[in-house]
């Protein structure tokens, strides 16, 4: 077996909070079990074995990537792309074109949000995403919607799903039946406001709303709802809120397994982009989420008995789905094999080995 080393370039990595960082950490562990060595370049505050950081993402970051790649003697540079995690700076969009002549570059798009260039940049912002993909030696997407969008631009992409961003729970504790859990940052796009409005329609005593994980900090590059606004909306709706604050991954998994129901009402519909959704579905508890824009976009997840779908932006139907889920007594099914980290790592290893100059297995 030939040795292979990969440099992950990611805007977030533990202990920094965020789904892309959790994804990268889990992928590293699974690849390590296969003998693939990895290093990470991330934002200030990231830490761990073979983890380097940058103070901020800007044009100088390109040189920093090359410096670390040479120092670590890597065979592949793998960008975990999410514009918000890189501060919306376009330097990472040009990185594949600038680097791929020297080393193979893979880019995984965790979303297709466009970077900030300058006011009224318009179509140039979309072209930055296309250039990132076209400049890469291989492009990965995590879900059917993003695959369609890039293929419509004439790009060749490989779809590899993400896995749950938490380990499976032990399920040794009891269930707080009259509780509704929301997992992840309290973002508008994740439906925190719609969830509170739906709970307002429930008869008293209303279920307690348990916010599992860190609140997150509102910033221009995200849509996190300030904690004070969440508290005000909940108070007006007569909904009691309990926050766990940041929890280690194992503890967060156990918190989800204790919930009466887990509710993730994504404004744009559920997607395979969400490691939080996968973590919820492996918890053993019923999960209410919003239907995807295209019915087939959740793939094999659609058949899981613990998954209940509700239309987006419809508080009354969301309320009805939550009420039904709180009385659910079915048997949950495990996640399909494609969402297991070892399967995900195997697909990545096979891709890396096909790249120019990468050592064969």
Per-residue model confidence as pLDDT tens digits over 183-232 = 999 999 999 999 999 999 999 999 999 999 988 888 776 789 999 999 99
Q: 141 and 152 in contact (C-beta within 8 Å)?
A: no
Rounded distance, CA 252 to CA 332, Å? 19
CB 209, CB 290: distance < 8 Å: no
Domain residues for 286? 176-335
Q: What angle do CA 261, 176, 315 make, to 5 degrees?
A: 35
Residue 289 inside a domain? The answer is yes
Same domain, 347 and 327: no
What is the average pLDDT score of the chain?
90
In a domain, 91, yes or no: yes
Residue 18: closest CA among 195, 162, 171: 162
299, 234: one domain: yes
Out of 56-65, 149-158, 340-349, least confident range: 56-65
Q: Which helix (H) or strand (E) holds 180?
A: strand 176-183
For 332, what's the count of Cα atoms within 13 Å in the CB-facing half-sphere? Answer: 20
Q: Is 164 in contact with 25 (CB distance < 8 Å)? A: no
Q: Which residues contact 122 (CB under 8 A, 6 or more apart)?
A: none
Number of domains composing the chain: 2
52, 118: one domain: yes
Residue with the two structure tokens 């709303």: 209
CA 12/CA 82 separation, integer angstroms: 9
Asked, for residue 108, whether it belongs to a domain, the answer is yes
pLDDT for position 121 = 38
In a domain, 180, yes or no: yes
Backbone angles phi, psi at 18, to 5 degrees: 140, 145
Other Cβ atoms less than 10 A from the Cβ of 329: the count is 5
Rounded to 10 deg, the angle between the 91-99 and 60-72 helix axes is 50
Q: Do residue 154 and residue 283 come from a single domain?
A: no
Q: What is the pLDDT of residues 302-317, one digit of tens each?
A: 999 999 999 998 999 9
Please tell me the predicted confidence (pLDDT) of residue 214: 87
Pairing of strands 51-54, 37-43: parallel
This prediction's pTM: 0.88
Q: Is residue 361 part of a domain?
A: no
Q: What is the CATH number of the domain that holds 86?
A: 3.40.50.2000
């Amino acid at each position: 077996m030939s040795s292979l080393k990969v440099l992950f370039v990611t805007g977030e990595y533990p202990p920094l909070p965020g789904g892309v960082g959790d994804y990268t950490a889990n992928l590293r562990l699974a690849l390590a079990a296969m003998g693939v060595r990895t290093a990470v370049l991330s934002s200030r505050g990231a830490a761990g074995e073979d983890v380097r950081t940058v103070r901020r993402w800007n044009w100088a970051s390109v040189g920093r990537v090359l410096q670390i790649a040479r120092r670590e003697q890597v065979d592949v540079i793998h960008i975990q792309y999410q514009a918000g995690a890189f501060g919306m700076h376009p330097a990472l969009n040009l990185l594949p074109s600038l680097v791929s002549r020297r080393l193979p570059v893979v880019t995984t798009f965790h979303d297709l949000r466009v970077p900030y260039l300058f006011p009224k940049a318009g179509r140039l912002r979309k072209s930055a995403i296309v250039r990132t993909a076209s400049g890469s030696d291989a492009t990965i997407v995590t879900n059917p919607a993003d695959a369609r969008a890039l293929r419509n631009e004439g790009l060749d992409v490989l779809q590899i799903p993400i896995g749950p961003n938490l380990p499976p729970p032990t399920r040794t504790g009891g269930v707080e039946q009259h509780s509704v859990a929301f997992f992840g940052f309290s973002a508008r796009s994740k439906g925190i406001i719609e969830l509170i409005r739906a709970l307002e329609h429930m008869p008293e005593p209303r279920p307690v709303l348990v916010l599992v994980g860190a609140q997150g900090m509102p910033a221009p590059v995200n849509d996190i709802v300030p904690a004070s606004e969440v508290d005000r909306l909940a108070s007006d709706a007569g909904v009691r809120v309990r926050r766990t604050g940041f929890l280690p991954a194992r503890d967060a998994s156990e918190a989800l397994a204790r919930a009466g129901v887990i509710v993730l009402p994504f404004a744009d519909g559920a997607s395979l982009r969400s490691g939080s959704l996968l973590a919820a579905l492996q918890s053993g508890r019923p999960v209410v989420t919003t239907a995807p824009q295209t019915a087939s976009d959740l793939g094999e997840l659609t058949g899981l008995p613990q998954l209940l779908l509700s239309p987006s932006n419809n508080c009354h139907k969301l309320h009805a789905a939550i009420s039904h889920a709180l009385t659910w007594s079915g048997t949950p099914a495990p996640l399909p094999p494609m969402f297991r980290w070892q399967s995900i790592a195997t697909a990545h290893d096979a891709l890396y080995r096909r790249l120019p100059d990468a050592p064969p297995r």
